[in-house]
Amino acid sequence: MSTSPTSPTARKTIQATELMGRIMREYFYDLNDAAVTGRRKVAWCTSVGPAELLRALGFAVYFPENHGAMLGSTRQSTELIPEANAAGYSPDICSYLTADIGAWLKQRTPLSKAYPGIERVPRPDVLVYNTNQCRDVQDWFGWYARELGVPALGISSPKNVNDVTEGLVEDVARQIEALVAPLEAIVGARLDIDRLRETVALSRRCSEIWRDVLETAMHSPAPLTFFDGTIHMGPAVCLRGTQQALDYYAVLLAELRQRVADGVGAVQGERLRLYWEGMPVWGRLRQHSEMFAALRTAVVASTYCSSWIFPAFDDADPFRSMAQAYLELFIVRAEPYKERYLADMLQRFKVDGIIFHDAKTCPYNSNNRYGLPQRLQASTGVPSLVLSGDLNDLRCVSDEQTKINAEAFVEQLLECA
């Protein structure tokens, strides 16, 4: 492989990807089977909603945000978003929401092409949200509740949290407990507390091994990049609380540790290390990965991939620890916490520069808007670049501008090095 700074091939493929593909295939066929046969009830859940509770109750759990990301990465979202706009949902709100509702209205899903025999997303028996990340998820699930005539239940989370206090944890824990009775009625079974403990323990272990995977990138050269992480986080998102996720990450971690031992980097000839703050641009993952690889720049860490690390899960106290985990999430926190968190990440991953992705339709994951890049640079000395774009709406993305800005930023960092 060439080490030329402009080589588009200077990236290294992760062998475990094939195994992940098999695991995700099994997950989606299992969901489809549950929905088609009615053998198991299906719950839709937001990404950091109470998935542990749903799994312990025996639901097959589906994550619409994952579907939104699939619509983005298959570049179908931009043409589907206007369908939701026509139904009254603004182009300025979450483009996962608008792409997903647009896909439902057009009866389209990338699942059909990826997994022959699956005709549609699994029809839910219940929709369960947590507003810890944003209000959009409640509106999103509210739309489906009206459309399909199924209940939407959820947690109204505190936001802008600096310290996760006992009072806040108690509030959310009580809300999770209040979900048990209506969910038991839907699934037709009582909650087995031991099964809940076991699921919380599995989620904790998944979170720990996922953290170990991401932290291999503390080594230089980094054995994986942010762009790899967005792909390999699939099991952490969709299968946390299951043994399959753990088994997968054991394989991935072994491969990455071998790369570290062999001095093999994901980006050949790594000369700079960046941090990505904000959402990925799903429809441009490959281009961005290739662009940075060609600049021999490794994007080594991100808030996004690290958001599936939940050190608080504790099987000894499942409800309170779930509440704590869902509240400790970066997106729930106030600016002083975010600044401390990012400063720590920049230092631990030995980062030369930070990219803030200003995603047009997700203000909650766009942390450049209230002076944080400037404050962070003042306190850490790490320069930043703001890239304007979006997670799913490619009309908000200028490829040329992204390229020019990224190249100029890398040049500037190399001059300073």
Radius of gyration of the chain (CA): 21
Q: Is 29 in the site for ligand SF4 (CB under 6 A)?
A: no
Query: Is the sign of the CA dihedral 84, 363, 216, 52 positive or negative?
Result: negative
Pick from 263, 279, 417, 278: nearest CA to 353 = 417
Residue 133 contacts ligand SF4 per CB under 6 A = yes
In angstroms, give the least distance from the CB of 213 to ligand SF4.
22
- 381 contact partners, CB below 8 Å, separation of at least 6: none
Select the span of 212-220, 320-328, 339-347, 361-369 touching ligand SF4 (CB under 6 A): 361-369
Candidates 111-119, 130-138, 178-186, 209-217 — which segment interacts with ligand SF4 by CB under 6 A? 130-138
124 φ, ψ (degrees, to nearest 5):
-85, 155
Closest approach, Cβ 94 to ligand SF4, in A, equals 3
| CB 396 to ligand SF4: min, Å | 13
Q: Which residue has the tokens 């490794």?
A: 298
> For residue 187, what are the CA distances in angstroms to 41, 59, 62, 373?
6, 7, 15, 47
Task: Please choose, out of 115-123, 131-139, 307-315, 407-415, the segment that lies near ligand SF4 by the rule CB under 6 A.
Answer: 131-139
On the CB side of 408, CA atoms within 13 Å amount to: 10
State the minimum distance, in angstroms, from the CB of residue 366 to ligand SF4.
9
**C-beta closer to ligand SF4: residue 54 or 267:** 54
Farthest-apart Cα atoms in the chain, separation? 64
Which residues, listed in sequence order, are joined to residue 332 by a DSSP beta bridge?
none
Q: According to CB under 6 A, which residues from 319 to 338 bind ligand SF4? A: none
Indicate whether 155 belongs to the interface with ligand SF4 (CB under 6 A): no
**Contacts of residue 377, Cβ cutoff 8 Å, sequence gap at least 6:** 383, 384
Q: Is 136 in the site for ligand SF4 (CB under 6 A)?
A: yes
User: Edge-to-edge, what's the strand order for the sheet holding 297-302?
Assistant: 297-302, 272-277, 353-359, 384-389
89 binds ligand SF4 (CB under 6 A): no
In what helix (H) or strand (E) does residue 274 lie, and over which residues does it extend?
strand 272-277
Name the minimum Å distance from CB 280 to ligand SF4: 10
Q: How far is the CB of 135 from ligand SF4 (least distance, A)?
A: 8
Q: Does 191 bind ligand SF4 (CB under 6 A)?
A: no
CB atoms within 10 A of CB 255: 17
Beta carbon of residue 362, minimum distance to ligand SF4 (angstroms, whole number): 3
Number of residues that bind ligand SF4 (CB under 6 A): 12
Q: Does 233 bind ligand SF4 (CB under 6 A)?
A: no
Tell whether residue 137 is a contact of ligand SF4 (CB under 6 A).
Answer: yes
- Taking a C-beta distance cutoff of 8 angstroms, is the pair 288, 227 a contact? yes
**Six token digits for residue 63:** 């994550």
Of 134-142, 149-157, 186-194, 291-299: span binding ligand SF4 (CB under 6 A): 134-142
Q: Report if residue 365 touches ligand SF4, rule: CB under 6 A.
A: yes
Query: Within 13 Å, how many C-alpha atoms sit on residue 251's CB side?
Result: 15
> Which of 134, 236, 245, 266 is the binder for ligand SF4 (CB under 6 A)?
134
Whether the CB-CB separation of 320 and 290 falls below 8 Å is answered with no
Choice between 64 and 241, CB closer to ligand SF4 = 64
Site for ligand SF4 in 267-296 (CB under 6 A): 279
Question: CB of residue 277 vs ligand SF4: minimum separation in angstroms?
Answer: 14
- Contact between 96 and ligand SF4 by CB under 6 A: the answer reads yes
Task: Give the C-alpha separation, 337 to 187, whole Å.
Answer: 39
Closest CA to 280 of 73, 21, 45: 73
| Angle, alpha carbons 403-409-412 (nearest 5°) | 140
Q: Is 236 in the site for ligand SF4 (CB under 6 A)?
A: no
Q: Is 362 in the site for ligand SF4 (CB under 6 A)?
A: yes
Question: Smaller CB distance to ligand SF4: residue 115 or 364?
Answer: 364
Tell me the C-alpha distance between 288 and 10, whole Å.
Answer: 13
Give yes or no for residue 391 binding ligand SF4 (CB under 6 A): yes
Q: How far is the CB of 287 from ligand SF4 (least distance, A)?
A: 20
Least Å from the CB of residue 97 to ligand SF4: 6
Instruction: List residues binding ligand SF4 (CB under 6 A).
Output: 65, 94, 96, 133-134, 136-137, 279, 362, 364-365, 391
